[in-house]
């Protein structure tokens, strides 16, 4: 049986438009979820920091920052460990700037026992190692805040290191 082209087109669209589950005249009338229609799932508290953080540190005065850790045997030990993880390759096992990686830097890593370093406050050193300066890498993302303060206690024990 031959069906004419117009009846064929008509029955094709009729089949689509009147088939069950497709009884919407317009595409905008359908059971979809519209933007902003659902309520957002409740957010856990505290995922977005509103204080502290790197920008607060950047905006602060370095010499006004205080070391929150007391200088005790345990913070010194924590600092020594952190030094061994994060600083030793550049500043060397004795803190004199003779680390193997550091030798490719110009200027060379500082001798941490030098009076130019030891003469600075804890806050100034914390600010510099956190945000970087000159050729120094910024370490805020690599070394936790507690370890950065602890490492400064350890630096104080390097006062006697000679270049």
Q: Using CB under 6 A, list all residues that contact ligand HEC.
A: 86-87, 89-91, 101-102, 105, 107, 109-110, 112, 116-117, 120, 125, 128-129, 134-137, 139, 143, 151
User: Of 17 and 101, which CB lies nearer to ligand HEC in the complex structure?
Assistant: 101
Q: Is 12 helix (H, G, I), strand (E, B) or coil?
A: helix
**Residues whose CB falls within 8 Å of the CB of residue 110, separated by 6 or more in sequence, listed in order:** 91, 97, 116, 117
Smallest separation (angstroms) from ligand HEC to the CB of 161:
12
CB atoms within 10 A of CB 15: 10
User: Of 53 and 132, which CB lies nearer to ligand HEC in the complex structure?
Assistant: 132
User: Of 7 and 138, which CB lies nearer to ligand HEC in the complex structure?
Assistant: 138
Comparing every residue's Cβ against ligand HEC, the nearest one is 134
Smallest separation (angstroms) from ligand HEC to the CB of 149:
10
Smallest separation (angstroms) from ligand HEC to the CB of 104:
9
125-130: long-range contacts, CB 8 A cutoff, minimum separation 24: 125/152, 125/155, 126/62, 126/65, 126/67, 126/152, 127/57, 127/60, 127/62, 127/65, 128/62, 130/54, 130/57
User: Of 74 and 103, which CB lies nearer to ligand HEC in the complex structure?
Assistant: 103
């Amino acid at each position: 049986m031959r069906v004419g082209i117009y009846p064929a087109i008509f029955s094709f669209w009729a089949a689509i438009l009147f088939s069950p589950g497709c009884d919407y005249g317009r595409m905008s009338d359908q059971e979809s979820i519209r933007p902003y229609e659902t309520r957002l799932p409740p957010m856990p508290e505290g995922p977005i920091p509103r204080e502290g953080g790197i920008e607060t540190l950047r905006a602060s005065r370095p010499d006004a920052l205080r070391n929150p850790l007391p200088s005790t045997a345990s913070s010194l030990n924590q600092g020594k460990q952190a030094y061994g993880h994060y600083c030793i390759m550049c500043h060397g096992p004795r803190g004199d700037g003779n680390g193997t990686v550091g030798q490719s830097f110009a200027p060379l890593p500082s001798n941490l026992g030098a009076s130019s370093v030891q003469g600075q406050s804890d806050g100034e050193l914390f600010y510099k190692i956190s945000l970087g300066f000159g050729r120094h890498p910024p370490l805020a993302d690599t070394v936790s805040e507690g370890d950065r303060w602890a490492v400064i206690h350890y630096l104080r024990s390097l006062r006697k290191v000679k270049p």
